[in-house]
Structure 1
Amino acid sequence: MLPDLSPFMALRRHLAIAHHVPGRIRVKLAAAALARLPDVDPEPFIALTKRIQGVNAIRVNVASLSVVIEYDVRQIAAPVWERLLAGDTAEIEAILRDHIGRTA
């Protein structure tokens, strides 16, 4: 079962890929978003990411407003991350259905 995507969808428009090499991606929150979203909670993004099969580690850097995600490139193709941040809801749901709980 997919989680409620509305918290992620609200936050993701403020996220951008700051650096990406296969197996490691850094996603950054726009500083301007803090003015519009004073109570930004990264937890929905983190919780959703933790459920993706192939994610090995997640590190949050509050000072730089970024999250580093280490992942297994054999389980998650690099373009998947771009689609999670830019795709429409149907595309994101399809990606998550394919990557969440495959072994559960």
Structure 2
Amino acid sequence: MKQYVDTALKLRKWVVIGHHIPGRVRLKYKMGIVAHLAKYKVQDIEHALASIPAFKNYKLNSVTGSILLEYDPAVIKPHLIDALFSGTEQEAEQVCYAIAQSLNLNGVSS
């Protein structure tokens, strides 16, 4: 699980919440994130998102520099999404672990 938390924390500095209502968040990303994401295959990212039932849908809009992510607010509490992007690095780490726990990623090895 630690590898997922570490990756989320690295990517966090390149993303801000553009708009958020429970179950739907638009993340605006800075272009610098592209270099970080180049390490990953698109299929791997899509597979990772598809393997988590709480993530219902996502849409990348490269024109606006945003990602629309639909999620199940009964599984991922909306306040955790807000806290992930608004808190300190230490708070964000705690939130990442809380989200991972709610997604039952405890059994995933790091």
| TM-score, normalization by structure 2 | 0.65
- Conserved? CA contact 1:52–1:96, under 8 Å: no
- Conserved? CA contact 1:55–1:69, under 8 Å: yes
Aligned to 2:11: 11
Q: Distance in 2 between matches of 1:96 and 1:75?
A: 10
| TM-score, normalization by structure 1 | 0.68
- Cα deviation, 1:37-80, whole Å, max 9, x if unaligned, reads 66131759x94972544210011112222111112222222112
Distance of aligned partners of 1:52 and 1:82 in 2 relative to their CA distance in 1, 3 Å threshold: farther
Q: Distance in 1 between matches of 2:7 and 2:74?
A: 28
- Structure having the higher helix fraction is 2
Select between 87-96 and 67-76 the one with higher mean Cα deviation: 87-96
Q: Distance in 1 between matches of 2:19 and 2:99?
A: 21
Aligned to 1:40: 36
Unaligned runs of 5+ residues in structure 2 are none
| 1:4-83 → structure 2 map (5 Å cutoff) | 4=3, 5-31=5-31, 34=32, 39-41=35-37, 47=45, 50=49, 51-83=51-83
Aligned to 1:88: 92
Q: Distance in 2 between matches of 1:56 and 1:83?
A: 21
Percent of aligned positions with the same letter in both sequences?
21
After superposition, the CA RMSD in angstroms is 3.1
- Conserved? CA contact 1:53–1:75, under 8 Å: no
Unaligned runs of 5+ residues in structure 1 are none
- Count matched residues: 96
